[in-house]
Structure 1
């Protein structure tokens, strides 16, 4: 069986002016054309060639010896070449561009964007890509608690947090309560494995353990105070929501940073503010 979207080693069963026809074995009815410009020198009837199977502009199966940037079931970063009313066209290393349909986009994309996506076969038996990569990610990562990882944010959820494709292969999540700063779809993030769930998915944190993070937070807080002219218009009694909005820290993290700066004699806490000494 000739398999769309995959690499296969097929046998040359017929030679024509414009290329060769390939099949699994001599006598099979199912054949696919490898265009002449792709046929290796010295190829003859009975030769075997490794090819990738896709469809041409007329929706016919076609073989190529060129290397695609993505294959069926893979998750890869692809560049947007163009957009139209039906979706975006992606560069995947082959002559015919690959469609990313509008309904498979998790955010608006523009020419030049690098997009994390997975290759699949749609209901019309055509190859397309989707930004909804969750079903294609592996849960069998080699990582364990406290390992450092890098991944691509592929979905943002108001209920759960930021979904991350670790190494663009493995399934990970930065829980909502762990998100700091402006994280958006397409961002590359460096994170720490907080835990590994029973199903193999990774819980991630983008901040260090408290004793390591404290120095970083204290430095960031001091920079913020200086930026505000030496005075912060709230103190550690402020609401957690205000602290997170202004500093990107939880209330506990903020209080630890304040404590560090107090101990170093760099700030003074007023009834409604924090001032630089």
Structure 2
């Protein structure tokens, strides 16, 4: 049985309060009646998330905000001297012991939480303490791959981010072209996986193969401004960043493509739709 993971189990038995599910080794978990359906029979498969409650293995068909080994933004539903209970999207709240809190968790506020199994207690546990910019090996990520990001915090180098709920990376300040906020979600791209196992991320794709995205962004802005935009290839990086949230390098590539396609005219101080 994979504790803290979504998995497929077989229905072993049924009773008035729910179903008994089992894995291939015969280990069992209980699925409460509220999550069952009349369509399933004994030996049918059912996909569930397995957790613990009062020392017993239980299952739910609910989808948690995060599984063991993942990060998620969660709200605190109750804060006690011993720890905090977080809403993680299923019927049972997640407990974060006081010693696993980077700072005291306050009821009603949102926090970035990492899930792990406490080996001493064999319990699914949360923590707000995690290593910054860790080193990874054998990452299932590729340079240029589009990824989901959770913004962690801003540092001298840029923004620390969570990638696909599992990995911590960095967006350098030079690659930030829009206002960012802690705990917000953004789309991003793998910029580089370094030899030391650290991950660099960008908010924008790189290379001519992705230039259509930037061209469309310029066209959308032109449409908003009645076909006129007071930018050109002579504009400063700061002006381009403020208006279009992209780098001057990508702006010039996209603008050149639009001009070549005879979609825009370029003057010293403005762009016009043809």
Give the structure-2-normalised TM-score. Answer: 0.60
CA distance in 2, matches of 1:234, 1:149: 29
Cα distance in 1, alignment partners of residues 265 and 133 from structure 2: 52
- Alignment match, 1:90: 86
Contact 2:190 2:199 in 1 (8 A): yes
Residue 163 of structure 1 aligns to a residue whose secondary structure is strand
Mind listing any 5+ residue stretches in structure 1 that lack a counterpart?
1-5, 8-36, 41-47, 57-61
Match of 2:242 in 1: 245
Question: Which moved further from structure 2: 85-94 or 197-206?
Answer: 85-94
1:167 corresponds, among 156, 164, 169, to 164
Instruction: Quote the offset at 1:221 in angstroms.
Output: 0.4
Report the counterpart of residue 221 of structure 1 in structure 2: 218
Deviates more, 1:193-202 or 1:183-192: 183-192
- Given candidates 229, 232, 236, the residue that maps to 1:232 is 229
Residues 166 and 96 (structure 1), Cα distance of their counterparts in 2 relative to 1, 3 Å cut: closer
Alpha carbons 1:166, 1:172 under 8 Å: kept: yes
Aligned mates of 1:84, 1:108 — CA distance in 2: 6
Map 1:1-277 to 2 at 5 A. 63-66=55-58, 74-77=69-72, 79-80=74-75, 82=77, 89-91=85-87, 98-99=95-96, 104=102, 110=108, 115-118=112-115, 129-134=126-131, 139-143=136-140, 145-146=142-143, 148-277=145-274
Q: Give the number of aligned pairs.
A: 222
Over aligned residue pairs, what C-alpha RMSD do you find? 4.5
Counterparts of 1:105 and 1:84 in 2: how far apart (Å)?
A: 12
Q: CA separation of 1:67/1:201 partners in 2, compared to 1, >3 Å: closer, same or farther?
A: farther
Q: CA deviation at 1:217?
A: 1.0
Distance in 2 (alpha carbons) for counterparts of 1:253 and 1:151:
21
TM-score (norm 1): 0.60
Work out whether residues 181 and 248 of structure 1, in 8 Å CA contact, stay in contact via their aligned partners in 2. Answer: yes
1:201-240 residue CA offsets vs partner (Å, 9 max, x unmatched)? 2222332232122222112101101211221123222221
For the structure 1 residues 254 and 84, does the alpha-carbon distance in structure 2 shift closer, same or farther, using more than 3 Å as the test?
A: same
* Residue of structure 2 equivalent to 1:20: none
Contact 1:139/1:201, CA 8 A, preserved across alignment: yes
CA shift in 2, pair 1:174/1:131, >3 Å:
same
- 2 CA distance for matches of 1:212 and 1:106? 46
Between the aligned partners of 1:227 and 1:261, the Cα distance in structure 2 is: 17
Q: Distance in 2 between matches of 1:88 and 1:207?
A: 37
